[in-house]
Amino acid sequence: MAESIDLDLKQSFDDLHESVLITNQDRTIIFVNKSMERLLRAKSEDLIGSTTKRFFANPDKFEKMGELYSTPADQRHRQTYLLELVLGDGSRTKAEVVSAPLFDAERTLKGLLFFARDVSERLALEEQNRNLAYTLEDALHAISEGFAIYDENDRFELCNENYREIYAHSAPAMVPGTSFENILRYGLDRNQYDTGNLSDEAWLAERLASHQKADGSVIDQRLDDGRWLRISETRTKRGGIAGIRADITELKEAQAKAELAYKNLSLVADSVSGSIAEVGLDGKCLFINKTACDWFKGTYEELLGTRLRDRLPWKERNFVRGLFERAKQGQPVSEEGTFHFPDGVKRECQFDCNPRFNEEGDVDGLVVMMSDITDRKRTERALAELYTITSTRELGHEEKIAEILRLGCEHFDLPFGIISHVMDDEYTITHAHSPNGELDPGTSFPLGDTYCALTLEADGPLATVDAGNSEFSAHPRYEKFALETYIGAPLLVDGLVHGTVNFSAPEQRNRRFSSADIQIVKQLADWIGHEIARQLDHQALMDAKANLERMASTDDLTQVLNRRAFLERANTEIHRFRRDRTPFTAVMMDIDRFKQINDQYGHAIGDRVLRLFADSISVTLRSVDVFGRVGGEEFCMILHNTDMDGAMAVCKRLLKKISADCQLPRLDETITCSMGLATPVREDVEFSTLMQRADMALYEAKATGRNKCVAFIPPLEEAVGA
């Protein structure tokens, strides 16, 4: 089995140009490829089974890198380590090393994979490049590079030997008086220059234009033998042109290698959905990935060398500056924060700032990663608030539905929220949330004119942030309302389709809807469906309760208040009278000779008379008056805010109306009524005392001829006492 694994490793890595070394979790070398053998100047049989400790010039570095085994998921595996190595032959070199953890199927660390590259020459070149500016400055004075002067007519005057050596093919033409153009042509004829994809004439025209410009700008020129020159030309005081040529072949090769390494690094960084940047201690950007370029709204070239934090609002700049200062102390920093990025999007981010160490162990830069956690945080807040809304007892059903609709608008950052009821092909707005009340509940549309038709067809949540470039663009609603952003879900009540819940905006949303957003709109629809179902159940319960109350307070035959309900209302009038002296008149009423009608015509006719009598009175009275049946043929009414004179006038009209309304063909006699009237006095505490006085007046009306209204007059001794 081990031989099979070893064979797989050889097939995978042995012929790679990169140097590869693999250790197990005990830091024992289990594989090296040929390139690593050459780098370390040791044979694989001498390496396998040992540790890499003997190759570390600095033992502390060996111990430090041991942390990679204890924290295999750590960010340090993304770093490049620069190590000084002692090779097998005793010589030393510098190498860049990157690592990657190796796990088995159970995610158990089995070892580490190391890639190493000898960078000693590159470091030397980089050191040379750092001194290049000083070298070029010295060259202007010491003429240590290729140097030539052409006169004001662009004819050759003189050059140094380095210049002739550089342009060896053109050297025979470098005779005083020869034009610069002719010297170029001489070299072109002898294939001295690499013209790339240009023709000789096109290349010549471009080179002459640059030469005549002579403004000190630098251009790179490639020769046919592969060498690279850096050219700088300026005007002399006499109007001629002085030029310097420097061989930058090694620099170009180093740049090519660096570009390749950068391209590989960029490929990995650009595949990350978050913002990644590397900054110096001064906060200036040294590297930035594509996502960060998008967030900070700039190209790589525009953002490189700038302080990215300067593009944030001042409070957020201070927040980032504080994190940088902490990370400069050598410890990773991780915080959550909200940032308003230049691309116009507000994001909640996980901000991780990791110090980058140089060979001496000092912090020389920072690696910053910002992960967008907006959707997660919004979802957490929305679910928490949804729970609060649905679990509180302080809100009624309508208030809860309104709050859920508001929550949806805030979560999706959209202005319009609608709950609809769909019946057949009609779409009706039942609840709406909008900035200025633009949407009116009760408004109806043909279902086919709404996006919700698509939602109901989909039988699930549906969303778009760019309706004009989606299936929505062909929908009648888009042409009619031009809504670019929409998210909605079917609304079920007791398992049946009731309508939809949707949120929309005329503008495109600057963030696409996430899978969490789809789940949230479904949750909102579910809870609104629950609230509507509970509301319907509650309404049914209230209707049943009201029906029971009505049945308990209504006389079955006449459908007016029964005695108990009437007396409750009557006592309320007494209490109001005692509180604010609002006048009223109580009227006891009795149908004349009703027992005779029952005996002569039967109870069925008697019941019809009672119903006719109650209907005739009910339709005449005001809504503030109270009317009820208090006995067999006895009724009582309370005329609100009415004194005795007003009540007497009302009662006289009622007597005429009763005589007209309550007649039956089978009855020979006219139905009439007697009435006794009484008004409350200060001493009345219960309605029963007032009712007794009205009953006494009724008795007098009966005794003195019936079909009349009689007002209660207190006995003389009571009147005198009063």
pLDDT digits (tens, 9 = 90+) for 672-706: 999 999 999 988 888 889 999 999 999 999 999 99
pLDDT for position 579: 87
Backbone angles phi, psi at 43, to 5 degrees: -80, 150
Judge contact between 698 and 590, C-beta under 8 A: yes
Burial, 629: exposed, middle or buried (Cβ in 10 Å; 0-12, 13-18, 19+)?
A: buried
pLDDT mean over 112-131: 81
Q: Give percent of the chain with pLDDT exceeding 90.
A: 44
Query: Could you tell me which residues are beta bridge partners of residue 340?
Result: 346
Query: How many Å apart are CA 356 and CA 330, to the nearest integer?
Result: 8
The secondary structure of residue 15, as a DSSP letter, is T
| Gap between the Cα atoms of 176 and 150, Å rounded | 9
**Cα–Cα distance, 200 to 387 (Å, whole number):** 76
Give how far the C-alpha of residue 660 lies from the chain's centroid of Cα atoms, to the nearest Å: 74
Question: 2-118 with 379-538: one CATH topology?
Answer: yes
Angle at 15 between CA 12 and CA 17, to 5 degrees: 110
Instruction: Write down the mean pLDDT value for the chain.
Output: 87
Res. 648: pLDDT tops 90:
yes
| CB-based contacts of 85, cutoff 8 Å, min separation 6 | 40, 55, 56, 57, 92, 93, 94, 95
Q: Which residues pair with 446 in a beta bridge?
A: 426
Does pLDDT of 3 surpass 70? no
Rg (CA), the chain: 50
Q: Are 427 and 444 in contact (CB under 8 A)?
A: yes
Residue 543 pLDDT level (bands cut at 50, 70, 90) = low
pLDDT of residue 305: 93
Beta sheet of 363-372, edge-to-edge order = 285-288, 275-279, 363-372, 346-357, 333-340
Cα 703 from Cα 697, distance rounded (Å): 10
Mean pLDDT within 323-351: 93
Q: What pLDDT, on a 0 to 100 scale, did the predictor assign at position 352?
A: 94
pLDDT for position 273: 82
Q: What is the per-residue pLDDT across 387-398, written as a single tens digit (0 to 9) for each?
A: 898 888 888 888
Please tell us whether the domain made up of 379-538 is placed in CATH 3.40.640.10: no
**What percent of the chain has a predicted confidence (pLDDT) above 70?**
93
pLDDT of residue 54: 87
- Residues 531-536: contacts with CB within 8 Å, 24+ apart? 531/390, 531/397, 531/400, 531/401, 531/404, 532/397, 532/401, 532/491, 532/493, 532/498, 533/493, 533/494, 534/397, 535/397, 535/398, 535/401, 536/493
Q: What are 22's two structure tokens?
A: 């693999």
Q: Which residues lie below 8 Å from residue 429, measured CB to CB, with a gap of 6+? A: 418, 419, 420, 439, 440, 441, 442, 443, 444
CATH 3.30.70.250 fits domain 126-253: no
Residue 456 backbone class (left: φ over 0; alpha: ψ -120 to 50; beta: rest):
alpha
Residue 554: exposed, middle, or buried by beta-carbon count in 10 A (0-12, 13-18, 19+)? middle
Predicted confidence band at 78 (pLDDT cuts at 50, 70, 90)? low
CA distance 25 to 15: 25
CA dihedral (447, 453, 456, 460) positive or negative: negative
Residue length of the chain? 722
How do residues 509-530 score in pLDDT, each as one tens digit?
888 898 889 999 999 999 988 8
Confidence of residue 73 (pLDDT cuts 50, 70, 90): low
**Residues 203-216, mean pLDDT to the nearest whole number:** 91
How many CB atoms within 10 Å of residue 615? 15
Pick the CATH number of 563-721 from 3.50.50.60, 3.30.70.270, 3.40.50.740, 3.40.50.720: 3.30.70.270
Q: How many CA atoms lie within 13 A of 249 on its CB side?
A: 8
pLDDT of residue 1: 42
pLDDT for position 26 = 87
Rounded-to-integer distance, Cα 498 and Cα 495, Å: 9
677 near 710, Cβ under 8 Å?
yes
The residue extents of the domains of the chain are 2-118, 126-253, 275-372, 379-538, 563-721
Q: Is the pLDDT of residue 333 over 90?
A: yes
Q: What is the mean pLDDT of residues 123-132?
A: 73
Which among 419, 405, 540 has a CA at the least distance from the CA of 491? Answer: 419
Q: How far apart are CA 230 and CA 246, in angstroms?
A: 5
In three-state secondary structure terms, 14 is coil
Between CA 699 and CA 590 the distance in angstroms is 9
Mean pLDDT of 529-539: 80
Residues ≥6 apart with Cβ < 8 Å to 199: none
Q: For residue 561, which of 571, 203, 434, 533 has the smallest C-alpha distance?
A: 571
pLDDT band (50, 70, 90) for residue 498: very high
pLDDT at 2 over 60: no
CATH number of the domain at 2-118, out of 3.40.50.970, 3.40.228.10, 3.30.70.260, 3.30.450.20?
3.30.450.20
pLDDT at position 487: 93
Amino acid 271: pLDDT: 79
Task: Examine the pLDDT at 140 and tell me if it is beyond 70.
Answer: no
Q: Do residues 231 and 220 touch, judged by C-beta distance below 8 A?
A: yes
Residue 353 has pLDDT above 50, yes or no: yes
CB 561 within 8 A of CB 629: yes
**Contacts for 246 with CB less than 8 Å, ≥ 6 apart:** 135, 136, 139, 145, 146, 229, 230
- The band of 550, judged by pLDDT with boundaries at 50, 70 and 90, is low
Q: Which DSSP string do the residues of 182-221 spell out, in sequence order?
A: HHHHHHHHTT-B--TTS-HHHHHHHHHHHHHH-EEEEEEE
Contact criterion met (CB below 8 Å) for 629 and 614: yes
Mean pLDDT within 154-179: 91
CB 628 within 8 A of CB 561: yes
Second CATH level (architecture) for the domain 275-372 = 2-Layer Sandwich (3.30)
**Among 355, 317, 365, which residue's Cα sits nearest to residue 339?**
317
CA distance 293 to 272: 13
Q: How far apart are CA 478 and CA 459, in angstroms?
A: 20
Q: Find the mean pLDDT for residues 594-614.
A: 89
First to last CA, the chain: 123
Number of H helices, E strands in the chain: 25, 26
- Going by C-alpha positions, the residue among 304, 510, 517, 568 that lies closest to residue 408 is 517
d(CA 414, CA 396): 25
Give the pLDDT band (50/70/90) at residue 343: very high
